[in-house]
Copies of this chain bind each other. A is one copy, B any other.
């Protein structure tokens, strides 16, 4: 399952929308599933792209909604998961196997921060927003994976490269969050 995150509102004719649709389609072409926050902008465009893939099968596109009403989902979601959790549903999106970032504001930033904590593979496209600002960087100095000195928010110059990075790196990103920390370090 690959998450696509980014701006909750985009110009449907702009570069972010084009990239989101392309990434969505490529994810389905690979026979992965797509998960988003189920609403508009990058979430909607990625879902539309996924739906347009020749490889799409009903059930491939999951939307994890902030509200309680499944009717709020964009029309390209196959599996609607209403949560009633508001922005905390970002944490569920951030549990995806891999996360691809296209621009993004504060909500996207919260997903990146949580995805980093959850040791997820994160790939950022160069579109304006937190994707561009964090591409190639580390969120903090924690060692998420031993023997992986290059761990970072991986930068991808194109949608194809983003998908290639996910395909190549995902086998190395298999550790999961060890859940609740109960001891104080210092």
Contacts and interface: CB of A to CB of B under 8 A. Distances in A.
A101 to B, nearest CB: 13
A91 B88 contact: yes
A86 to B, nearest CB: 5
A179 interface: yes
Nearest to A97: B70
Interface in A23-56: 33, 35, 39-41, 44
Chain copies in complex: 4
B139 A109 contact: yes
Residue of A58, A95, A97, A178 with highest tally of chain B CB at under 10 A: A95
Given A72-B182, A183-B72, A92 B83 contact: yes
B10 A186 contact: yes
Interface in A87-129: 87-88, 91-92, 95, 97, 104-107, 109-110, 112-114, 116-118, 129
B184 A40 contact: yes
Interface SS majority for chain A = loop
Contacts of A95: 68, 81-84
A84 B9 contact: no
Contact of A117 (B33, B60, B107, B114): B107
Chain A, interface size category, equals 35 or more
Interface in A56-91: 57-60, 62, 64, 66-72, 74, 78-88, 91
A64 to B, nearest CB: 7
A31 to B, nearest CB: 10
Interface in A145-186: 176-186
